[in-house]
Amino acid sequence: MESKEMTFVLVEDDELDMEVFRRALRKHEIEQEMRFARDGNEAIRLLRDEFVDGSRSDYIVFLDLNMTGMNGHEFLEEIRSDPDLKSAVVFILTTSEHERDLRLAYAKNVAGYFTKSNIDYLMQAIKPYVSGVALPPVAPEDKKRTDTK
Q: How many residues does the chain have?
A: 149
What domains are defined for the chain? 7-138 (3.40.50.2300)
Q: What is the pLDDT of residue 19?
A: 97
pTM of the model: 0.86
Angstrom distance (rounded) from CA 134 to CA 143? 19
Query: Which pLDDT does position 146 carry in this prediction?
Result: 44
Strand pairing category for 112-115 and 59-63: unpaired
CB atoms within 10 A of CB 130: 19
Q: What is the pLDDT of residue 57?
A: 67
Note down pLDDT in tens along the chain; length 149 residues: 455 678 999 999 999 999 999 999 999 999 999 999 999 999 999 999 988 765 566 899 999 999 999 999 999 999 999 988 998 999 999 999 999 999 999 999 999 999 999 999 999 999 988 888 776 665 545 444 444 44
Provide φ and ψ at 38, rounded to 5°: -90, -10
How far apart are the C-alpha atoms of 40 and 57, rounded to whole Å?
A: 19
- DSSP, collapsed to helix, strand or coil, labels residue 93 as strand
